[in-house]
Amino acid sequence: MTSIRSPQQLGGTLRTARKQLGLTQPQLALAAGVGVRFIVDLEAGKPTLRLENVLRVIDALGGKVQLSGLPSSASDDQREDDGRGA
């Protein structure tokens, strides 16, 4: 798992993943349903990009976002309770 602490780190990590998959920026843009300029800005570490589109790119690369060190949300607690039948 990769720890990301800045937009620049995220951009670099996604660029590396794209290249390892043998994709060009236009190919990734098409797969994620975003523009090529968005991919360029994302890989450059632009800090003001739409989260929805960032998540689409991560998904197109086969990745997923996981948060650690945060308290669980109420919806997570309810799902756990539902499984216990209580």
Q: Which domains does the chain have, with CATH numbers?
A: 7-66 (1.10.260.40)
Here the tokens at position 86 are 């209580």
CB burial readout 16-43, b (16+ within 10 A) else e: ebbeeeebebeebbebbebeeebbebbb
- What is the structure's pLDDT at 62? 97
Q: Tens digit of pLDDT for each residue in 7-55?
A: 999 999 999 999 999 999 999 999 999 999 999 999 999 999 999 999 9
